[in-house]
Amino acid sequence: MTETTKTHVILLACGSFNPITKGHIQMFERARDYLHKTGRFIVIGGIVSPVHDSYGKQGLVSSRHRLIMCQLAVQNSDWIRVDPWECYQDTWQTTCSVLEHHRDLMKRVTGCILSNVNTPSMTPVIGQPQHETPQPIYQNSNVPTKPTAAKILGKVGESLSRICCVRPPVERFTFVDENANLGTVMRYEEIELRILLLCGSDLLESFCIPGLWNEADMEVIVGDFGIVVVPRDAADTDRIMNHSSILRKYKNNIMVVKDDINHPMSVVSSTKSRLALQHGDGHVVDYLSQPVIDYILKSQLYINASG
């Protein structure tokens, strides 16, 4: 497959990130490496979306702190970014609504229509001609009328960088102006773009708990978007999927990362990192990056059992 025929992917991780751990970042890296090795995907961005304060989880610190810690954790990454939209809403948002927000935002800003994994052949993707005449996206008169794939990719990358690859200053988080006129992407049949939910096998297992998830939301999350699962503690993902009719139905939309790396829960667990902080355990450096530790100590977070 050529670069332009591969599916371009944005990985989206939702969670409390209370605090964000090294393991969370490793999940992004492992998922990207695995998807690239399949030869079918190019991961062009990663989004960390911390949950709203009203989620109600015991010990959940303010989103102001969690956003800053997330930003510190990804500050050296050239492809993973933190998005504050979920935190800045009036109330808690479902995972489904967060995925739909990013899909709709990308439609508006990039001028593209994202691929639906259920009906890829019927859903327009970046590059498919539309009924309206597109506006040129390059003002330079020397640019050929039909952009090359590289130029299309460049414009999409530029637009996406204004959505999910935004790196706001630690002191202040800003939004992309969703109504901004960023130009229309020239549409040719060249690029397919998908947003995939990135999660651990524990979240996959939670889909099997009766009444925990809205079934209509599950249909959208797994059926319309698709998920990438990074197994933890040698979890049997096939067994988990067989326990849910929806997971079985959309099994082809669930990509399980298969590599030689054992991914112990403790490396990802925010709970373990908080306990280490509360007990002054030096092994906290195994869980958290130093900038995050420094911020936690400076802000006096997680110093008691209540968080």
Average pLDDT value for the chain:
78
252 Cβ neighbours under 8 A, 6+ residues apart: none
CA distance linking residue 198 with residue 229, whole number of Å: 6
Task: Please report the pLDDT score of residue 122 as a whole number.
Answer: 30
Q: Which fold has domain 7-115+191-262?
A: Rossmann fold (3.40.50)
Q: Which two tokens stand for residue 35?
A: 């998807």
The full set of domain ranges for the chain reads: 7-115+191-262
10 Cβ neighbours under 8 A, 6+ residues apart: 43, 44, 45, 46, 47, 102, 106, 160, 164, 193, 194, 195, 196
Instruction: Say if residue 216's pLDDT is above 80.
Output: yes
What is the percent of the chain where pLDDT is above 70? Answer: 69
Residue 225 Cα distances to 192, 198, 252, angstroms: 13, 11, 12
Q: What is the pLDDT of residues 253-267, one digit of tens each?
A: 999 998 776 656 556
Q: What is the pLDDT of residues 8-27, one digit of tens each?
A: 999 999 999 999 999 999 99
Instruction: Count other Cβ atoms within 10 Å, centred on residue 181.
Output: 8
Confidence of residue 5 (pLDDT cuts 50, 70, 90): confident
- Helix pair angle (290-299, 63-74), 10° resolution: 150
CA 202 vs. chain centroid, Å, equals: 17
Residue 90 Cα distances to 15, 66, 178, 236, angstroms: 17, 17, 18, 38
DSSP, collapsed to helix, strand or coil, labels residue 254 as strand
- Residue 116: which of 253, 302, 283, 249 has the closest Cα? 253
Instruction: Count other Cβ atoms within 10 Å, centred on residue 30.
Output: 20
Q: Which two tokens stand for residue 36?
A: 């690239």
Task: Using a cut of 0.85, tell me whether the model's pTM lies above it.
Answer: no
Angle value at C-alpha 257, between 251 and 262, nearest 5 degrees: 135
Instruction: Count other Cβ atoms within 10 Å, centred on residue 239.
Output: 10
What is the percent of the chain where pLDDT is above 90? Answer: 60
Instruction: Say if residue 94's pLDDT is above 80.
Output: yes
Q: What is the pLDDT of residues 128-185, one digit of tens each?
A: 333 333 332 222 333 333 333 333 345 455 555 544 443 333 333 333 334 433 333 3
